Amino acid sequence: MKFVRFGEPGAERPGILDRNGAIRDLSGRVDDLAGAVLADLSALSGIDPESLPVVPGTPRLGPCVGQVGKLLCIGLNYSDHAAETGMEAPAEPILFLKANSAICGPNDPIILPRGSQKTDWEVELAAVIGRGGKYIAEEDALDHVAGYCICNDVSERSFQLERLGQWTKGKSSDNFGPLGPWLVTRDEVADPQNLKLWCKVNGETMQDGTTATMIFGVAHLVHYLSQFFTLHPGDVISTGTPPGVGMGKKPQRFLKAGDVVELGVEGLGTQRQQVIADPAG
Ligand code: ZN
């Protein structure tokens, strides 16, 4: 099943794609794709999308998960990406948090924060936690995943790396966390460690990788993170990016207003973002 959230920011409603890819309104069945609903998506498996009302037009898509408790991001998790940044491949997962306020819809604009010179793209496979847990065994870990979506881990490199402290402020600007377009249930993703993923800027391919080169796979990440804190339904783990980010180009390339970023993960749809100056000035 492919779930969406559609409507204006903060007022999104749940939907499901029918077999033609049209959005059907799920709001008569569940309030949101969040919390307890994610913990047992199988409860929705009996619903025939064709029996639900068609959503007219082409509404804005919101983030495909509501009420995200934690947006957990893994740094340097592709052997080939670690190499391009000149950093050593990590011995255990590098965890950082992206502020939940950065989360936005898959096609919402990328907003360049004031003073940004080095805003960069990162296509990533994100796993959405369904059933929560703590100290989860690696062999049970994927049973705790409700589904998958795309995350663009948008990053301001000078805020991330050239200012004091750790990475959070370079990762958390408004709209730096597009999630979607769809939450694709786990049963539709045969092997999360064998998915192509790509990113283009103004039509030029920048990233063209595969989750097969991840250092720590999804199952290990769920297990690993749950050793430190409880994972809750609706927590999102963005699993790192393959090579081809702007910071790794020679010469380096970063986003400017007017650029268009498109990204996709095999089976999970695509995102498209226009880059804009911060309307707040
Ligand atoms: Zn990342």
pLDDT in tens, the chain (281 residues): 999 999 999 999 999 999 999 999 999 999 999 999 999 998 898 899 999 999 999 999 999 999 999 999 999 999 888 887 788 889 999 999 999 999 999 999 999 999 999 999 999 999 999 999 999 999 999 999 999 999 999 999 999 999 999 999 999 999 999 999 999 999 999 999 999 999 999 999 999 999 999 999 999 999 999 999 999 999 999 999 999 999 999 999 999 999 999 999 999 999 999 999 999 98
Structure confidence at residue 77 (pLDDT) = 96
pTM: 0.97
| Beta pairing class for 177-185 and 2-6 | antiparallel
Give the Å distance between the CA of 19 and the centre of ligand 1: 32
DSSP string, 8-43: STT--EEEEE-TTS-EEE-TTT-S-SSHHHHHTGGG
Structure confidence at residue 14 (pLDDT) = 98
Residues with CB under 5 Å of ion ligand 1 are 122, 153, 241
Structure confidence at residue 137 (pLDDT) = 98
170, containing H or E segment: helix 168-171
Give the Å distance between the CA of 30 and the centre of ligand 1: 31
Give the Å distance between the CA of 241 and the centre of ligand 1: 5
Structure confidence at residue 251 (pLDDT) = 95
Question: Cα separation of 131 and 194, whole Å?
Answer: 24
Give the Å distance between the CA of 123 and the centre of ligand 1: 8
Structure confidence at residue 84 (pLDDT) = 78
Give the Å distance between the CA of 152 and the centre of ligand 1: 8
Per DSSP, 133 falls in state B
List of domains in the chain:
65-277 (3.90.850.10)
Q: Which distant-in-sequence residues (6+ apart) come within 8 Å of 220 by Cβ?
A: 93, 138, 141
Structure confidence at residue 174 (pLDDT) = 98
Structure confidence at residue 232 (pLDDT) = 98
Give the Å distance between the CA of 196 and the centre of ligand 1: 16
Structure confidence at residue 81 (pLDDT) = 83
- Structure token pair of residue 143: 């049973």
Give the Å distance between the CA of 178 and the centre of ligand 1: 12
Structure confidence at residue 82 (pLDDT) = 80
Give the Å distance between the CA of 260 and the centre of ligand 1: 19
What b/e readout covers 130-152, taking b as 16+ CB neighbours within 10 angstroms? bbbbeebeeeebbebbbbbbbbb
Structure confidence at residue 85 (pLDDT) = 77
